[in-house]
Amino acid sequence: MDERTLNEQCAVLFRQARRLSRREVMRRGLALGLSTPIIATMLAACGDDDDSTEPTVAPTASGSEPTSADSGEATAPAESSPDTGSTGDTPWYVDPAPGDPVSGGTINYLLYEDPDSMNPYIGQTSIASQVTTVILEPLAETLPNGDWSPVLAAEIPTLENGGISEDLLTVTWKLREGVLWHDGEPFTSDDVKFSYEAASDVDAGSAFASEFEKVASVETPDDLTVVVTYSEFNPAYVDQFKYIIPRHATGEISDMMNWDFNRNPVGTGPFKFEEWAAADHITVVKNEDYREEGKPYLDAINFLVVPSEESRSAQMLQGDAHVMLWPGSEASDKFRNSDVVQTRIAPGIWTVAMRFNLSKPFDNDAGVEPPHPLFGDPEFRKAIGFAINRDRIANEVLNDSVIIDSVLSVGWIMAEVDTWVYDPDEAASILDAAGWKLNGDVREKDGVKAEFVCNGYTGYLPNELQQLAIQEDLAKVGITMKIENQDFAVIFGTWADGSPRMTGDFDALFYDDGFFIEPHNSIVLRYHPDSVPSESNPSGQNFIRWVRKDVGEWLDAAGSTPDRDIRRENYQKVAEAMREDAPVIPIVQFTEGNAYSTRLHGFVVSTWEYSTWDAENWWLES
Amino acid sequence: MGNYVIRRLIMAVPLLLIISIIVFGLLQAAPGGPMGAYVRRGSFSEEDLRRIEQRLGLNAPVYVQYGKWISKVVKLDFGQSITERRPVTAAIRDRLPNTLYLMGTAWIVTILIAIPIGVITAVKQYSWFDHVVTGLTFVGQSVPIFWLGLLLILVFYIWLDNPFSSGPLLPAGGMYTLGQDFSLWDRIKHLILPVTMLSASWVAWYTRFLRASMLEVIHQDYVRTARAKGVREQVVIMRHAFRNAAIPLVTLMALDLPLIFSGALFTEVIFSWPGMGRLFFTAADRRDYPLLMAIIMITATLIVLSNLLADVVYAWLDPRIRLR
C-alpha cells in the first residue's frame, strides 16, 4: 500500500469516525497501521464517545441545502485538489496556527472568473459566493462537523429551548443584539422579514423562491424576534435564512434585478465592500464595528480575477497571492514540495455513481413497468457492483477522490453499508447463476445480449476516465458497456425538454451529484417511490425508477422530525435497501480544497461552507 | 465621394440585418443554452429554473425572441446580460476602455517598430540586418502567442528579480498595482509584457508586408527617375517610395481596427487583463445571448465601417483610384 492509498484510507476512516464506535475506529485504524496516538487524536477531534455520535453543540434538526432540484450535479469538484496528505487529524482541515494571531495585512485571494453579482437571491455563481460570504451573513452557519452555530441569531431554535413549536410549524428566532450594518444602521428583525420578502418574490427574479414555499408568514413582534410560520414542517428550517440583506440599503423588491446593492453590497459581515473593478478585482476592507472584539485580523482582502491557472499558481509560488480557489491537480503538483504554498482539503459533497434504469427504455412510457431487459434483474446489477475495480479508479485513475460505499455515506448521515469489494469471479458466478451465459466475449440470456449504453455529460475528464476504466472492468466479466456522453444541458435537461433521464429513455447514467448539509429534500426527490418523473410530476428525480414502498415510509418518517438520530436511523435503512437492491453503484467521492500561503493562518477548510466562511479568523504572519 | 460613402452606409443596413439573423439563428441552434449555467450551479429547483427561463424570455420561439431583440436594438438597447446580471451596455462600458488602452498601445508600438524596420530591410535588401529581421519575423509569425506569454511570465516574473526591490522584475498581470496611487511607471510596467506578447506577431506581419511593398515600389520607374534627377536618396525613399508603399499598409491597418475593439483573448487570459476578449469568451461559454449578440453586432458594424474607411483612405491616398 503506497502512501497515498494509506492517506486516502485514513481520509475515509476520518470521515466515518463520527459514526463508528471507538472500538471500531481503533480496529480499523490499527489495521491501516496508524499509531495509537494518531487514532486517539482523531477520536478526540471527532467526539470521543462510544455511544453518542453527536459531539459538540446540541443536535438540532435542520438543514440547509439550497433546494431540491439536482442539488448541484457536478460543479465545484471539477477543480478540486488532491494532496491527500493534508487530511490531517480531522476530516476537515484546521490550520495549526504558530502562536497568537497578529492584526493587519492585506491578502490576495485568486478567483478564476469574475463574480456575477453580490446579491445571492438573484442566483449568483459559487465564485461570487466566496466574496459575498465575507460581506453578508446568515442567521446560522454550519460548522465543519455538521452542527449549527448561530451567527446573526442569538441561539439556534430547537425543541428544547422552545424555538420550534411542538407541532414543528412555528420557528422563533431570537436575534443578536447590537449588530450594525456596514453603513452604521442597526440590524433588526425587519431586515430578516425583508430578506424573506425578496427571496420569496418570484416576479422580482428570486432564484430561490421554491425554498420559501413552505413558509406561510414571517412576523416581527419586536426588533430582535422573528417568528416564522410554516405550512408544513421544513427539516431545513435552521438553514432557511442563508443571507440577510438590509431593507434600507437595497430598494424596491420588484426592482431587485437592478439594485445598486447587487454591485455595491452592504452587509453585517467581518469585511465591508470597498470596490469592484469588473473582471479585475473586488476589494473588501475590515469592518471596524464587527461584533467580535479584535476581529477580523486582516485589514483587507483583494479578490483578484486571474483566469490563467499558470498565472495563478505562479503568483502563489512567488508569494504574491495567499489563497487560490480550487487548484487543479496540475497546480497542486507544483505546490506539493513548496514551502510557500500548501494545499488543504476537506471531504467534498460530490459523489460519482452509476445509476441503472430499472424500467424498459424507449417504450414511450416514463413509468416503472415493464422492467429493463438487463437492469430489471437485481442480480445483474449486483454483478456490476462486484465487477468494478473502484480501488483502481480512486488510486490510479483519479488523484482527488476517496472510495464511498453508499451515496448516503455523507455528512451527518454517514450511513454504513457493506462495501462493494472488487471481485470479478463473484460477479461472473452471480451472472452464471442468473442465467447470463458467456457466448463468445459477451454474455447472453434468452437472446438478450449483455450490452448497454452508459450516458454521462461531456467535458469533465475525471468522469470520462472513470467510464473508460469501468468499461474495461465490465468487458472482463462479459458485459459490453458503450459510452455515449451528451451535452450538460441534454443530460440534465428537464421534463419539458424531454431529457432522457426524465422520460426514462436510457440504460445507465454516470455522473456526480451531492447533498448539502440538509439533504432531506434531495434524498426524497431522488429515491422516494413517489418521485418517479412523469407528466404529472415533472420535478421528480427518481430517474432510476426504483420503487420500494418501505423506502417511502422510511423517508417519510425521516422527514417528520427534527431529531437527527431518528432521521439517521431511517436514512440508514434506505442505504441498506440500496445496497441490497443495487439500483445505484457508488464509485468515489471527490475531495475539495484550496491552496494557501504558508504565511496565512487561522482558517478551517469545511465541507459545508464557502472557503471564506471564517475569514474573520484569518491572519497573516509578518 | 460623398455619394459613394452615403450609398455604402445605406447598403450596410440590410447587410448587418442579415448578419444579425444568421448569427442569432446559429447561436440558438448551437447545443446548450443560457440555462445550462443555472443547471450546472445545481442549487435551483425545477420550478425556479422554469421561472428564470420565463423571465429571460427563453421559452418563446426563436423568431419571437429575435423580433423582441431587434426591436430593442434599433433603439440601441442591447438588453440585460445573463451572466453579468446588468445591462449589456454597462458590461461593455466597463471593459472597452481597458481593451482600447491595451490594444491601442500595442498597435502604436507595432507601427513605431514595424515601419522603420520594414523600410530599412527593403532598402538594405540581403544585408545582415535584413536576414536577421526576416528570420525574427518568421519566428514572430509562427510562435504560438499563448506560449510566448507564458514564457514572458516565466522569465520576467519568476526568474528575474527587480534589482532595486525584492519583488519580481515585472508583474504577472493586472493593469496596475492594487492599493497604490496612480503612477505612470506602474502602468507602463503592467503594459510591457502583454504589449510584447501582442506586438510580437503583429510587428512581424506588418514588417513583412511593408518590406514586400517597399521592394516593389523601389524598382518602379518613377523612383529611378527621381534618383536620376539627382534627388537625395533619403528624400527618394521617404517621399517617393515610402508614401506609395504605405498605401496598402494603411488599408491593412484600417482592416485591423475592429481588432482593437474586440480584444485579444489569449493575452487577456494570461495577463489577467479585464478586456473585451474575455468578456466575449465568457458570454460564448455561457450562451449569454444578449451579450454575445451585442459584441458580435458591434464588431460586425466596425468591420463594415473599417472596410469603408479602407476604401476611402485608399482612394484619398492613391489619386488613380476613383470611387463612384
DSSP per residue, A490-518: HHT--TTTT-HHHHT--SEEEEEEE--SS
What pLDDT, on a 0 to 100 scale, did the predictor assign at position A29? Answer: 54
Verify that B25 and B104 share a domain, yes or no.
no
- Is the pLDDT confidence value at A62 over 50? no
Q: Is residue B125 part of a domain?
A: yes
- Is the pLDDT confidence value at B41 over 70? no
- Tell me how close the Cα of B270 comes to any Cα of chain A, in angstroms: 5
CATH number at residue B111: 1.10.3720.10
Verify that B221 and B121 share a domain, yes or no.
yes
Band (pLDDT 50/70/90 cuts) for residue A349 is: confident
**Can you tell me the distance from the alpha carbon of A179 to that of A153, in angstroms, rounded to the nearest whole number?**
10
What pLDDT, on a 0 to 100 scale, did the predictor assign at position A67? Answer: 34
Q: Is residue B192 part of a domain?
A: yes
Terminal CA-to-CA distance of chain B, rounded, Å? 7
Q: Is residue B270 part of a domain?
A: yes
Region A476-481 average pLDDT:
95
8 Å CB contact of A488 and B33:
no
Verify that B198 and B141 share a domain, yes or no.
yes
What pLDDT, on a 0 to 100 scale, did the predictor assign at position A498? Answer: 81
With vertex at residue A110, the alpha carbon angle to CA A107 and CA A115, rounded to the nearest 5 degrees, is 115
In chain B, pLDDT over 90 holds for what percent of residues?
54
Q: Is residue B88 part of a domain?
A: no
Of A591, A598, A596, residue with least CA distance to A614 = A596
Question: What residues of chain A, 160 to 189, have a C-beta less than 8 Å from chain B?
Answer: none
Verify that B158 and B264 share a domain, yes or no.
yes
Region A24-29 average pLDDT:
54
What pLDDT, on a 0 to 100 scale, did the predictor assign at position A193? Answer: 97
- Is the pLDDT confidence value at A262 over 70? yes
What pLDDT, on a 0 to 100 scale, did the predictor assign at position A194? Answer: 97
A67-81, A355-369, A550-564, B198-212: range with lowest mean pLDDT? A67-81
**Can you tell me the distance from the alpha carbon of A116 to that of A393, in angstroms, rounded to the nearest whole number?**
35
**Can you tell me the distance from the alpha carbon of A399 to that of B136, in angstroms, rounded to the nearest whole number?**
43
Residue count of chain B: 324
- Is the pLDDT confidence value at A172 over 50? yes
Question: What residues of chain B, 21 to 50, have a C-beta less than 8 Å from chain A?
Answer: 31-33, 35-50
Given a contact cutoff of 8 angstroms between Cβ atoms, the answer to whether A171 and A155 are in contact is no
What pLDDT, on a 0 to 100 scale, did the predictor assign at position A491? Answer: 80
Q: Is residue B89 part of a domain?
A: no
Q: Which of B27, B28, B39 is most worth mutating to test chain A (most A CB atoms within 10 A of its CB)?
A: B39
Residues with Cβ within 8 Å of A525's Cβ and at least 6 positions away in sequence, in order, are: A68, A69, A531, A539, A540, A541, A542
Measured CA distances, B196 to A313, B109, B153, B160, B259 (Å): 22, 9, 11, 17, 17
pLDDT digits (tens, 9 = 90+) for A352-369: 999 999 999 998 888 888
Residue with cell 453527536: A54
Question: What residues of chain B, 280 to 319, have a C-beta less than 8 Å from chain A?
Answer: 282
Residues with Cβ within 8 Å of A504's Cβ and at least 6 positions away in sequence, in order, are: A357, A359, A361, A365, A366, A367, A533, A543, A545
pLDDT digits (tens, 9 = 90+) for A377-391: 999 999 999 999 999
8 Å CB contact of B282 and A489:
no
Range of the domain at B183: 94-317
8 Å CB contact of A114 and B80:
no
Region A108-116 average pLDDT:
93
What pLDDT, on a 0 to 100 scale, did the predictor assign at position A75? Answer: 34
DSSP per residue, A395-425: III-SSEEE-S-TT-STTT----------HH
Band (pLDDT 50/70/90 cuts) for residue A567 is: very high
Verify that B21 and B109 share a domain, yes or no.
no
Query: Which member of B48, B173, B178 has the closest CB to residue A67?
Result: B48
Verify that B282 and B164 share a domain, yes or no.
yes
B180 touches chain A (CB under 8 A): no
Residues with Cβ within 8 Å of B142's Cβ and at least 6 positions away in sequence, in order, are: none
Helices (H), B35-171: 35-41, 46-56, 62-73, 88-123, 128-142, 145-153
Task: Give phi and psi for B55, each to the nearest 5.
Answer: -65, -35
What pLDDT, on a 0 to 100 scale, did the predictor assign at position A68? Answer: 34
Please give the residue that has the higher pLDDT: either B56 or A275: A275
**Can you tell me the distance from the alpha carbon of A194 to that of A583, in angstroms, rounded to the nearest whole number?**
44
Residues with Cβ within 8 Å of B120's Cβ and at least 6 positions away in sequence, in order, are: B129, B130
Band (pLDDT 50/70/90 cuts) for residue B259 is: confident
Region A428-435 average pLDDT:
95
Band (pLDDT 50/70/90 cuts) for residue A141 is: very high
Query: Which member of B32, B168, B279 has the closest CB to residue A488?
Result: B32
Residue with cell 483566469: A307
Region B228-252 average pLDDT:
88
Verify that B66 and B113 share a domain, yes or no.
no
A126 touches chain B (CB under 8 A): yes
Verify that B138 and B59 share a domain, yes or no.
no
Region B24-44 average pLDDT:
72
Containing A131, the helix (H) or strand (E) segment is helix A126-135
Q: What's the 3-state SS for A317-347?
A: HCCCCCEECCCCHHHHHHHCCCCCEEEEEEE
- Tell me how close the Cα of B112 comes to any Cα of chain A, in angstroms: 29
Query: Which member of B41, B80, B270 has the closest CB to residue A72?
Result: B41
Where a domain ends, among B41, B73, B105? B73
Of A581, A578, A584, residue with least CA distance to A355 = A584
- Tell me how close the Cα of A353 comes to any Cα of chain B, in angstroms: 17
Verify that B134 and B255 share a domain, yes or no.
yes
A255 touches chain B (CB under 8 A): no
Verify that B104 and B68 share a domain, yes or no.
no
Verify that B6 and B139 share a domain, yes or no.
no
Given a contact cutoff of 8 angstroms between Cβ atoms, the answer to whether A14 and A607 are in contact is no
A29-38, A280-289, A481-490: range with lowest mean pLDDT? A29-38
CA atoms in the 13 A half-sphere facing the CB of B129: 11
Question: What residues of chain A, 392 to 411, have a C-beta less than 8 Å from chain B?
Answer: none
CB-based burial of residue A421 (10 Å sphere; 0-12 exposed, 13-18 middle, 19+ buried)? exposed
What pLDDT, on a 0 to 100 scale, did the predictor assign at position B36? Answer: 67
Q: Is residue B194 part of a domain?
A: yes
Band (pLDDT 50/70/90 cuts) for residue A39 is: low
Given a contact cutoff of 8 angstroms between Cβ atoms, the answer to whether A515 and A522 are in contact is yes
C-alpha cell at A556: 417519510
Strand ranges in A528-622 using DSSP code E only, listed in sequence order: 584-597, 600-601, 604-605, 619-620
Region A448-473 average pLDDT:
92
The number of domains in chain B is 2
Band (pLDDT 50/70/90 cuts) for residue A56 is: very low
Q: Is residue B210 part of a domain?
A: yes
C-alpha cell at B317: 491616398
- Is the pLDDT confidence value at B105 over 50? yes
Verify that B158 and B49 share a domain, yes or no.
no
Query: For B198-237, b where at least 16 C-beta lie within 10 A, e where not — what string?
Result: bbbbbbbbbbbbbbebbeebbeeeebeebeeeeeeeeebb
pLDDT digits (tens, 9 = 90+) for B111-169: 999 999 999 999 999 999 999 999 999 998 899 988 999 999 999 999 998 888 878 99
What pLDDT, on a 0 to 100 scale, did the predictor assign at position B16? Answer: 94
Cβ neighbours of B173 in A, within 8 Å: 306, 308, 311, 315
Three-state secondary structure call for residue A235? coil
CB-based burial of residue A350 (10 Å sphere; 0-12 exposed, 13-18 middle, 19+ buried)? buried
Chain A and chain B share a number of CB contacts under 8 A equal to 158
What pLDDT, on a 0 to 100 scale, did the predictor assign at position B38? Answer: 65
**Can you tell me the distance from the alpha carbon of A80 to that of A560, in angstroms, rounded to the nearest whole number?**
35
**Can you tell me the distance from the alpha carbon of B90 to that of B271, in angstroms, rounded to the nearest whole number?**
23
pLDDT digits (tens, 9 = 90+) for A284-323: 999 999 989 899 999 999 999 999 999 999 999 999 999 9
Residue with cell 464557502: A610
8 Å CB contact of A279 and B172:
no
Region A262-279 average pLDDT:
95
Please give the residue that has the higher pLDDT: either A32 or A456: A456
What pLDDT, on a 0 to 100 scale, did the predictor assign at position A345? Answer: 82
- Is the pLDDT confidence value at A231 over 50? yes
Of B84, B69, B77, residue with least CA distance to B28 = B69
How large is the ipTM? 0.89
Q: Is residue B81 part of a domain?
A: no
Chain A: residue whose CA lies nearest to B172: A311
